[in-house]
Amino acid sequence: MSWTRKILRVNLTEGTCTPEPLNMEWANDYLGQRGLASKYLVEEIDPNCDPLGPDNKLIMATGPLTGTAASTGGRYAVVTKGALTGAIACSNSGGFLGNEMKNAGWDMIIFEGKSPEPVYLYVEDDLAELRPAGDLWGKTVWETDDMLHQIHQDPQLRVACVGRSAEQGCLYAGIINDKHRAAGRSGVGTVMASKNLKAVAIRGTKGVGNLDDPEGFFKAVNDAKAVLAENAVTGQGLPTYGTQVLMNVINGIGALPARNMRDVGFEGAENISGEAMHEPRPSDGKPNLTTNAACFGCTIACGRISTVDKNHFTVKNKPEYWGASGGLEYEAAWALGADTGVDDLDALTYANFLCNEDGYDPISFGATVAAAMEMFENGDITTEDTGGLELKFGSAEALTKCAELVASGEGFGKDLGLGSKKLCDKYKRPELSMTVKGQEFPAYDPRGIQGMGLTYATSNRGACHLRSYTVASEVLGIPVKTDPLVTEGKAELVKAFQDATALVDSSGLCLFTTFAWSMENIAPQIDAACEGDWSVERCLEVGERIWNMERDFNRAAGITGKDDRLPKRLVAEPVKEGPTAGQVNHLDEMLPEYYKIRGWTDDGEVTDETRQRLGL
């Protein structure tokens, strides 16, 4: 079975922690993690509730493979109504928190209400209680993590917490576990802080077992591990360069957006690439990259652990930043770098450290700074608004100062904490916000990769690459190569990726395995671990069910087909130069077909027939 069949309900208003049995009927229909937690959320909250009010709930959930020896089986998800978007949010994180929750005997933890005072949840196997967090409030993620280890005198404790940015109301604050792994997107940390919940500290010693078919499980898991090891992306590219292997590739095909997506192609891309992270710095002779690192159970190990030159202007005389810590992933390097026009690798790494240290999303942050820079250049924002800061594209000083201000929520940091959409609304340039449903774009320009336009427009949590990563097919040829500049067939591709991704996100596995794995590798692992028959077909149906359920939640929250739109820039301003010169995204060619394939109305509403087919 591999579910623990037990969930923990934490009522923050009442201060109670109550175990209850997992709804196995729902587990059979939604598997775990993203799907199952979304089902609980959809059933339990009013879609129109204030994301930052006590009526919203926040769910931390594992999947059935979390905590097992399946490669990458350590993931957990945070599901809530997102602070940044008002849409259903699901942010997924690796590190070591998910397996610890499972080892303590819990499939998921549901937080409801709002605590009158700052608290943290302490879990030690069956013991679960809320404890005062007055001393932790106002502290960074890194300080909170250290303090909890000290308070409990337990080096093996695992901690997930929010930093100061969340406390200050930054709308794209995440929840950080193990100091540098993040449930990063959509403002799930902002929701957590709004409940006066500072941290979750877990120690689990029960073990994860009860495999439905142990022999079959080890066979499926070992076969799948061999596939990862032999694949060029998961076996070599990702461990060596991390996701940053993409920087030069995406720039090379003319799909790397730059300077708030005003440009496509970044002249400084090489300087901030995965390859550059390996190069010894001229200043101190050491490379930016210290080592690669794995999350729990992961045999890929794409994580970047980096060190900034002690004499770099960002950390000079600040020894707290001289140690190694979570370095740049591709999306962060793009948002902090190409999108702001900054190509100083150590400056980006320092900004990334701050994102981890005070818990905010580097994608949304970088993209918001980029929008602010464009407005500064246009004169919409002046030094009067920024407190004297010269917000120029390409300024590493401006970028890192912005990162410091968002971390503490001071000065112009308050404005930047609004996210790109609300910031651009405030300064009356809404068309300069590069967002869908209020969430900032990641690092692929949909003018150069058509399918990503449809991906962004229809994503249930706002612009996001992790809902259907058609880059795999359109650029890397996985599972089959499609032409990135062609719209034909992309509706089908996007739907297939969305459904498969929803399933992977519900299993406890990492999406990055799908560079090498297809559902034929994944389903047998789930099937052997869980009771019942988990065929490829059933897995895909569960994925489709999850997608439609999320869509229905958003519709009830007032987010409809009208919001499946891209900013005008991406559909009307052609790429100026490079391999994709002259291109725009042709969303309108793909969207009607996509709705049709999904079994939705022409306005993008789920039909009763489709609901019935999927058992919704």
Cβ(109)–Cβ(97) below 8 Å: no
Closer by beta carbon to other proteins, 228 or else 434: 228
Cβ(210)–Cβ(530) below 8 Å: no
Cα gap 585→594, rounded to integer Å: 15
Q: Which two tokens stand for residue 489?
A: 């067939």
CB of 75 to other proteins, least distance (A): 13
CB of 392 to other proteins, least distance (A): 33
CB of 94 to other proteins, least distance (A): 11
Nearest to residue 150, comparing CAs of 137, 162, 135, 166? 135
Closer by beta carbon to other proteins, 75 or else 225: 225
Cβ(214)–Cβ(222) below 8 Å: no
Closer by beta carbon to other proteins, 151 or else 226: 226
Closer by beta carbon to other proteins, 69 or else 540: 69
Cβ(550)–Cβ(418) below 8 Å: no
* Alpha-carbon dihedral angle through residues 340, 142, 175, 159, given to the nearest 10 degrees: 150
- Does the footprint of other proteins cover residue 22 (CB under 8 A)? no
Q: Is the bond preceding 19 in cis, omega lying within 30 degrees of 0?
A: no
- Does the footprint of other proteins cover residue 156 (CB under 8 A)? yes
Site map 106..145 versus other proteins, x via CB under 8 A = ----------------------------------------
Footprint of other proteins on residues 282-321 (CB under 8 A)? 290-299, 301, 303, 305-307
Residue 578, number of CB atoms within 10 A of its CB: 17
Cβ(310)–Cβ(235) below 8 Å: no
Is residue 294 exposed (0-12), middle (13-18) or buried (19+ Cβ within 10 Å)?
Answer: middle
In which element (H, E) is residue 410 found? none
Window contacting other proteins (CB under 8 A); options: 16-24, 61-69, 454-462, 501-509: 61-69
- Does the footprint of other proteins cover residue 512 (CB under 8 A)? no
Q: Work out which of 68, 243, 356, 433 binds other proteins, going by CB under 8 A.
A: 68
Site map 161..200 versus other proteins, x via CB under 8 A = ------------------x---------------------
Closer by beta carbon to other proteins, 292 or else 518: 292
Q: Work out which of 152, 206, 426, 538 binds other proteins, going by CB under 8 A.
A: 206
Closer by beta carbon to other proteins, 238 or else 406: 238
Task: Name the one residue in this structure whose structure tokens are 């000079």.
Answer: 316
Q: What angle do CA 583, 474, 297 make, to 5 degrees?
A: 135
Closer by beta carbon to other proteins, 188 or else 300: 300
Cβ(272)–Cβ(247) below 8 Å: yes
CB of 21 to other proteins, least distance (A): 20
Cα gap 167→313, rounded to integer Å: 28
Closer by beta carbon to other proteins, 158 or else 421: 158
Nearest to residue 28, comparing CAs of 41, 20, 42, 39? 39
The number of residues that bind other proteins (CB under 8 A) is: 37
Cα gap 562→92, rounded to integer Å: 27
Site map 319..358 versus other proteins, x via CB under 8 A = ----xxx---------------------------------
Q: Work out which of 19, 116, 132, 207 binds other proteins, going by CB under 8 A.
A: 207
601 Cβ neighbours under 8 A, 6+ residues apart: 595, 607
Residue 55 has, within 13 A of its CA and on its CB side, a CA count of 8
- Does the footprint of other proteins cover residue 103 (CB under 8 A)? yes
Nearest to residue 17, comparing CAs of 204, 200, 209, 208? 200
Closer by beta carbon to other proteins, 230 or else 390: 230
Cα gap 128→67, rounded to integer Å: 20
Q: Work out which of 139, 185, 198, 225 binds other proteins, going by CB under 8 A.
A: 225
574 Cβ neighbours under 8 A, 6+ residues apart: 447, 581, 582, 583, 584
**What 8-state DSSP symbol labels residue 335?**
I
Closer by beta carbon to other proteins, 93 or else 580: 93
- Does the footprint of other proteins cover residue 205 (CB under 8 A)? yes
Closer by beta carbon to other proteins, 356 or else 514: 356
CB of 231 to other proteins, least distance (A): 13
Closer by beta carbon to other proteins, 146 or else 270: 146
**Residue 50 corresponds to which amino acid?**
D
- Does the footprint of other proteins cover residue 209 (CB under 8 A)? yes
Cα gap 56→411, rounded to integer Å: 29
CB of 99 to other proteins, least distance (A): 7
- Does the footprint of other proteins cover residue 208 (CB under 8 A)? yes
Closer by beta carbon to other proteins, 300 or else 405: 300
Cα gap 120→58, rounded to integer Å: 14
- Does the footprint of other proteins cover residue 229 (CB under 8 A)? yes
- Does the footprint of other proteins cover residue 67 (CB under 8 A)? yes
In which element (H, E) is residue 322 found? none
CB of 229 to other proteins, least distance (A): 7
- Does the footprint of other proteins cover residue 280 (CB under 8 A)? no
Residues lying near other proteins in the complex (CB under 8 A) are found at 67-69, 71, 96, 99, 103, 156, 179, 203-209, 225, 229, 239, 290-299, 301, 303, 305-307, 323-325
